[in-house]
Amino acid sequence: MSHNGEKEGDRGLLGTPGGPAKAWRTDNTDFKQQRLPAGEPILTAGTVLPAFLAISLLFIPLGVGLYVTSSNIQEMVGRVLMYYGLSNFYQNHRPYVKSRDDRQLHGDPQALLHPSKECEPYRRHRGLPIAPCGAIANSMFNDTLQLFLVTRDPSGPALTPIPLGKRGLAWWTDRRVKFRNPPGEKSLQQRFQGTTKPVSWRKPVYMLDDDDDDGGGEDNNGFLNEDFIIWMRIAALPTFRKLYRLIEGRNDSHPTLPAGRYYLNVTYNYPVHSFDGRKRMILSTTSWMRGKNPFLGIAYMAVGSISFLLGIVLLIIDHKYRDNNYTVDVTI
């Protein structure tokens, strides 16, 4: 009994008179009382060594296969991809990565005229909003590459242009989902009215494709231009390559790039001296793993080799100290 004459059962769990006795008590179930069966892995030599061995047996052959496949990709024969490459260009720098407006790139009319503050200092120019805004778009690669086959005729050497395809370069998800032009029935130029081009660009975004520079078409202009979409997918490393053009073969009996001499004409627009960089052009065939990329195979071989070495080290340690009984005193 309590001092005031109330029964103990009349008090709640928190001592409130008249409260329910079990109002705050957790249900007596195995789940809520944490009595369910549980397992805790015990790291022993018998469990760790097979894991390291399995990883090495899986990763090393896989890495060798990827590396050999990449190495067997031949240069300048078959269906050919043309890349441009840049060195010492850090696209993964944090302020640079953030300097874009994804709402604007998705065609939002409000974001088109009022870009995000993340785009500073490439947000507005001469009082007009920049489209597309941000440092990534402003630094877009804009050199023009033309490839010619050097042939001979009675009058002397002649240059035969190699057709370069500019469609089908970007990822489907980028072109159909992430990037959209401003909606409307007006021409593309009118839909971008009230905006200005990036500071470093030579032409506005609705005239990026030279084959459709009347300002009315949008199949490969505006935010849907495939060169622009590819540039906006930033690279992780300072030395990188980006897909520039496709060279399709005419038929199976005729090589895409026949043996001979070639002439590359570069319209130099993109300066690299300011960041001590270098430019290059790469021709590569394709495989099931797309273009030539030995990094993935090397990474698998490295992880597999490290796992194998760790397994050997642990095996030696286990063999040496297996039968030794020793204790370690820890003083706190």
Query: d(Cα 134, Cα 123) in Å, to the nearest integer?
Result: 6
Average pLDDT for 46-75: 78
Query: What's the mean pLDDT in 42-65?
Result: 81
The answer to whether residue 137 scores a pLDDT higher than 70 is yes
Tokens (6 digits) for 329? 């005193």
DSSP letters of 216-274? Answer: ---TTSGGG-HHHHHHHS--SSSSEEEEEEEE--SBTTB-SS-SSEEEEEEE-----GG
The pLDDT assigned to 63 comes to 82
Which residue shows structure tokens 């296969």?
Answer: 65
Q: Shortest CA distance to 195 belongs to which of 172, 177, 219, 222?
A: 222
**Cα gap 329→326, rounded to integer Å:** 10
Helices 45-71/295-321 angle, 10° precision: 160
Mean pLDDT of the chain: 83
> Left if phi > 0, otherwise alpha if psi is -120 to 50, otherwise beta: which for 18?
left
**What per-residue confidence (pLDDT) applies to 289?**
54
End-to-end CA distance of the chain: 48
Task: Kindly tell me if the per-residue pLDDT of 69 is higher than 90.
Answer: no
pLDDT at 21 over 80: no
Q: Can you say how many angstroms the Cα of residue 223 is from the centroid of all Cα atoms in its chain? A: 19
Mean pLDDT for 102-131 is: 96
Give alpha helix (H) positions in the chain: 45-71, 94-98, 102-105, 109-113, 135-138, 172-173, 188-191, 226-232, 295-321
Comparing C-alpha atoms, which of 272, 263, 245, 56 is closest to residue 149? 263
Diameter of the chain measured on Cα atoms: 124
Percentage, residues of the chain above pLDDT 70 = 82
Measure CA 198 to chain center. 24
At 279-315, the pLDDT tens digits run 999 998 765 555 566 777 888 888 888 988 888 888 8
- Are 255 and 249 a contacting pair, CB within 8 Å? yes
> CA 322, CA 132: separation in Å to the nearest integer?
66
Question: Is it the case that residue 6 has pLDDT exceeding 80?
Answer: no
- Beta-carbon neighbour count of residue 66 at 10 Å? 20
